[in-house]
Chains A and B, each alone.
Chain A
């Protein structure tokens, strides 16, 4: 009976730890997508940025010996892909959804091509901060090994919320996203604002990728991302384009992904296909529950309603 108790507690701790470990890439990608979408453009290609970021981060960390340089490189690789997306979408009659899908395939393909040489070597990884030192339980300590990137992401979410509400630039991004006409009347350069929003969004997604390859699971290979970049895009809609909600949603998705392995490892062995599919089921349920044919979603940038 005490075993059962420890088991359920174990699941809870594993899901909590998993929420943080698995959720961090979701967090960065969704914050990036949130920023881009707030400016009135959808970048579906962030999966490509994520994979490209994972590869470049690992490669640069291996070549330079510094994991943080790797994170920077991952961000820059993501920013480059973002810039490409922005430049293509500025052209006349170019559909941003189509460009996003094309760049997703391009980014993953390029990462596989350039990443061949880095599957085998072991690169320096990012360090963790042990926040669980107070606990005598090694389980709790392991769950509270927090990566600095998660902390940065957790601070970035409210900062971005504040930025949209109060900062001049944030208001510019929102204006461009809400109404191109109003932005033009104010004398804003719509393309330029969207360009920088997409580049910054791409940067964040790239950093999210470096978390995968440099911290958790902490190695580069071609099967590294199982669609986290795509799910993060859905997550932004679920979070109603609110950065702080993106943070909670990322934790929820991360925890859902950790549920399957955690249940099996305490001996709850039935239904593992179902539990392994939990994040995808969650995505679907949320989409169904929040959809309505009569009203538009609150928080949705005006540019998407037309």
Chain B
């Protein structure tokens, strides 16, 4: 009896020490949720990377979260090294590689190697039929506040010419351009949006050159979809035209000409994920949301915005909030005259077909094919 309990004790102790290697990691992971964030540019760029950094900072303030991050990680083999070091050295349970180009092949490659780690990519590329289960994507319908900015821009423009400085023609960028244009044309159907693709997410000289050229052509409202809108917003202010911000709040950069802007609210997304992980709940592969879900928001109106413009935009905002607003409602023609959304067809915001958009709406001057 005594001997048997002794043996049992030894076996139990052995088993305990055998799992200790594993167990310590599990216990330590349980004590804190470990998250890794990767940005393609500097985390204080007044733009996309800063919006993610602000989200990371918000989640890092929770005392049960340990968040690490790395900035300026190129979309190359470098991001593979960063992801592996976050997994192996920092014990990250979930990674947020935030740049579009990280996904294929880098995230897919590393995700197959570490099936126990979650890889959540910011963008719309995850496909259940093709990609590993431990990969997912999250994104906000930022084209909702962009549509509202289009309404405000449509009211503010005197020449009826708007300008959009964009990095590269990928679906999310095209969707913003189209929503902005549709918003503006809901005010005045004659309005056009001139697009310039700069060919890269961060190219300040080209962004300034594009802004100047467009102002020279009589464009009087500028907006952009590049990593850091600082140069575009400041150039617009310098040239005395209006501008709409993007990614974060740039109103301080253009005190006279700033109209409104479209901002991310990643804090909400990251805290939701952290809570799911803490509760050991299933993490959804697709997370989406717009104004209603609080994932995106508008910047405050600038001094140049008229009361009529505010009223018109706020009325549509209300429809976004109650879910009754549909931006992509047929008939919609693209800018080559082809009918892309037929009469009577509605694509609600959650419709995944919108995430493979490859056309520019009527009224946009530009082409998706370089």
Cβ-defined partner of B214 (8 Å) among A122, A216, A218, A265:
A265
Q: Give B21-43 interface residues, CB cut-off 8 Å to A.
A: 41-42
Within 8 A of B (CB), among A259-300: 260-262, 264-267, 269-274, 276
Q: Answer yes or no: B207 CB below 8 A from chain A CBs.
A: yes
- B181-209, CB under 8 A of A: which get 1 and which 0? 00000000000001111111011111111
Known A-B contacts A10-B213, A222-B72; the reply to A216 vs B208 at CB < 8 A is yes
- The smallest beta-carbon distance between A273 and chain B, in angstroms, is 4
The listed residue (B42, B219, B239) touching A142 by CB distance below 8 A is B239
Contacts of A14 in B (CB 8 A): 209, 212-213, 216
A223 touches B202 (CB 8 A): yes
Bound state CA distance, A139 and B238, in angstroms?
Answer: 14
Q: Which of A17-25, A36-44, A59-67, A167-175 contacts B (4 or more CB under 8 A)?
A: A17-25
The reply to whether B365 and A119 form a contact with Cβ atoms under 8 Å apart is no
Inter-chain CA distance A221–B48, complex, in Å, is 14
Is the pair A260, B45 in contact by a Cβ cutoff of 8 Å?
Answer: no
Query: A221-B42, A222-B42, A272-B199 are known contacts. Are A10 and B217 too (CB-CB below 8 A)?
Result: yes
Interface of A is mostly: helix
Q: Contact mask B224-236 → A, CB, 8 Å, 1/0?
A: 0001101100110
Tally chain B residues at the interface, Cβ within 8 Å. Answer: 44
| Inter-subunit contact A271/B231 (CB<8 Å) | no
By a CB distance below 8 angstroms, the chain A residues around B365 are: 267, 269
Q: With A14-B212, A217-B205, A223-B204 given, is the CB distance from A265 to B367 under 8 Å?
A: no
Cβ contact of B213, chosen from A120, A212, A262, A276, cutoff 8 A:
A262
Q: Does B344 contact A (CB under 8 A)?
A: no
A270 vs B368: C-alpha distance in the bound complex, in angstroms?
A: 9
What number of A residues sit within 8 Å (CB to CB) of B?
Answer: 44
Q: Smallest Cβ distance from B148 to chain A, in angstroms? A: 25
Question: CB distance B230 to A264 under 8 Å?
Answer: no
Whether B337 is near chain A, meaning CB under 8 Å from some CB there, is no
- Cβ of A257 < 8 Å from any Cβ of B? yes
Chain B residues whose C-beta falls within 8 Å of the C-beta of A265 in the assembled complex: 163, 194, 196, 210, 213-214, 216-217, 219
Chain B residues near A258: list those with CB within 8 A. 209, 213
What CA separation (Å) do A143 and B215 show in the bound complex? 11
Asked whether A224 and B199 contact (CB < 8 A) given A261-B209, A265-B214, A273-B370, the answer is no
- Tell me which of A13, A142, A217 contacts B231 (CB under 8 A): A217
Indicate with 1 or 0, residue by residue over A1-37, a CB within 8 angstroms of chain B CB atoms: 0000001001001100110011000000000000000
For residue A218, which residues in chain B have a CB less than 8 angstroms away from its CB?
A: 208, 231, 234-235, 238
Q: Which of A122, A271, A276 contacts B206 (CB 8 A)?
A: A276
Residue contacts A-B, CB under 8 angstroms, 27 given = A14-B213, A18-B212, A112-B72, A116-B42, A116-B44, A216-B205, A217-B207, A219-B231, A221-B204, A222-B42, A223-B202, A224-B205, A226-B206, A257-B206, A260-B198, A261-B196, A262-B213, A264-B194, A264-B196, A264-B210, A264-B366, A265-B210, A265-B217, A265-B219, A266-B213, A270-B370, A276-B198
Q: Which 5 A-B pairs have the closest CB atoms?
A: A223-B202, A217-B208, A261-B210, A273-B370, A265-B213
**Besides A219-B204, A272-B199, 20 other A-B contacts (C-beta < 8 A):** A10-B213, A112-B42, A116-B44, A119-B44, A122-B253, A142-B215, A212-B205, A218-B238, A221-B45, A221-B230, A228-B205, A260-B198, A261-B210, A262-B213, A264-B195, A264-B196, A265-B217, A266-B217, A269-B366, A270-B367
